[in-house]
Structure 1
Amino acid sequence: MGEGPWRLHTDGAARGNPGPAGIGVVLIDPHGQVAEQLARYIGTATNNVAEYTALIAGLERALARGARRLDVYSDSELMVRQLNGEYRVKHEGLKPLYHRVRELAACFDAVRFIHVPRERNREADRLANRGIDQGAAPG
Structure 2
Amino acid sequence: MKLTIYIDGACRFNPGPAGIGVWIVDGQGKTLAEISEFIGQATNNIAEWSAYLRALREAKKMGAEEVSIFTDSQLLVEQVRGNFKVRDERLKVFWRQAKQLQEELPGFKLAHVPREINKMADSLAKRSVEGKVKSK
Shift of 1:132: 0.4
Matched, 1:17 2:22: no
The answer to whether structure 1 residue 60 and structure 2 residue 57 are counterparts is: yes
Percent identity between the two aligned chains: 37
Aligned residue for 2:129?
132
Q: How far apart are 1:61 and its partner, in Å? A: 1.2
Partner of 1:119: 116
Higher helix share: 2
Gaps of 5+ in 1: none
SS in 1 for 2:104: coil
Counting only pairs closer than 5 Å after superposition, residues 1-139 of structure 1 correspond to structure 2 as 5-138=2-135
CA RMSD of the aligned region, Å?
A: 1.3
Deviation string for 1:1-52 (max 9, x for gaps)? xx6x311100001011101101000011112111111000000100000000
Q: AA paired with 1:58?
A: A
User: How far is the alpha carbon of 1:137 from its aligned partner?
Assistant: 3.9
Q: TM-score, normalised by structure 2?
A: 0.94
Q: SS of the counterpart of 1:126?
A: helix
Cα shift readout 1:79-109 (whole Å, capped 9, x = no counterpart)? 0011112111111121001111111111111
Partners of 1:21 and 1:64 lie apart in 2 by 24
Aligned with 2:82: secondary structure? Answer: coil
Q: Which sections of structure 2, spanning at least 5 residues, go unmatched? A: none
